[in-house]
Copies of this chain bind each other. A is one copy, B any other.
Amino acid sequence: MEILAPCVILDKPQMAENIGAVARAMANFGLSDLRLVNPRDGWPQERAWASASGAEWPLNAARIYDSVEAAVADLHLVYATTARPRELQLPVLTPRVAMAAMLSEVQSGHRAGLLFGGERAGLETADIALSQAVVTLPIDPRFRSLNLAQAVIILAYEWRMTMETGAPAIFRDAPPPADGAAMLGLYEHFERELETAGFFHPPEKKPSMVQNLRSALGRARMSDQEVRTFRGVVTALSRGRGRVLEKLARAKADKPTDR
């Protein structure tokens, strides 16, 4: 089976020079699928090509998305490179372990992506919540300001080291995981019903409640069948709640009040 190297997803990259440097870093270690989510200054930008030192093919083929959700829709596995997120319960992997795990998945025919945040703001928790794990670099706590292309090249280097040394085959017997679009369909279905049920209370807590739910479900690495089952569960529960509410309403209507 042909091995499909992971794609690199840059969320809201700011500087075209950095996008070019990322393309160069990818090319150094054999990655080529570049995805850009809302690049600040639009796309294409000449300065990206100027700073790629000839690594033009990832730029020429780059795809543009208007959300991380859209950029990961066809992926079965996404790892977000970021500092350990306090708000989410996600596995935190070193680049080495992450790439070994990712190679095993890719060897099973799954499509994988590496998600990076923009230069200043980094990744939003809601987007990290779309990942199955977080990759954290062993960076010196005294100086954490890591250049975007530098973060990319370390992952790309570990990818290639893993390819060359051979990854331990893990996850091999697991069923194929559902892709990002299927998971997003489940999330949105789930959240719609929870909204109707008044679950998101107080309303200002909804975003963090949503991302905690998403990261918990995402970690489960559900198969397509499991996603369908789970959507059936949500439907059943919400219809059931509907029936309960209906019954309560009927009971209330049938029974005269005290006054």
Q: Contact at A28–B160, with CB atoms within 8 Å?
A: no
A30 close to chain B: CB less than 8 A? yes
For A53, list chain B residues within 8 Å (CB). 145, 147
Cross-interface CB contact of A150 among B94, B96, B149, B161, cutoff 8 Å: B149
* A24 CB within 8 Å of chain B: yes
Question: Does A55 have its Cβ within 8 Å of any Cβ on chain B?
Answer: yes
Complex Cα distance A145/B21, Å? 11
CA distance A183 to B139 in the complex (A): 35
Are B154 and A157 in touch, CB under 8 angstroms? yes
Residue of B nearest to A161 (CB): B138
A140 and B157 alpha carbons, distance in the complex (Å) = 10
Report A204 CB to chain B, min CB distance, Å: 35
How many interface residues does A have (CB within 8 Å)?
31
Bound together, the chains give a CA A146 to CA B21 distance in angstroms of 10
Residues in chain B near residue A96, CB distance under 8 A: 161
Q: Which listed residue, B54, B138, B142, B150, touches A153 by the CB 8 Å rule?
A: B150
The answer to whether A150 and B25 touch across the interface, beta carbons within 8 angstroms, is yes
Take A53-B145, A153-B154, A157-B154 as given contacts and tell me if A139 and B28 are in contact as well, using a CB distance cutoff of 8 Å: yes
A114 to chain B, nearest CB (A): 16
Task: Give the residue of B29, B94, B139, B143 whose beta carbon is less than 8 angstroms from that of A140.
Answer: B29
Q: A140–B160 contact, CB under 8 A? A: yes
Q: Identify the interface centre among A21, A138, A145, A149: most chain B CB within 10 Å of its CB.
A: A138
Tell me whether A27 is interfacial, beta carbon within 8 Å: yes
Complex Cα spacing A137 to B160, Å = 10
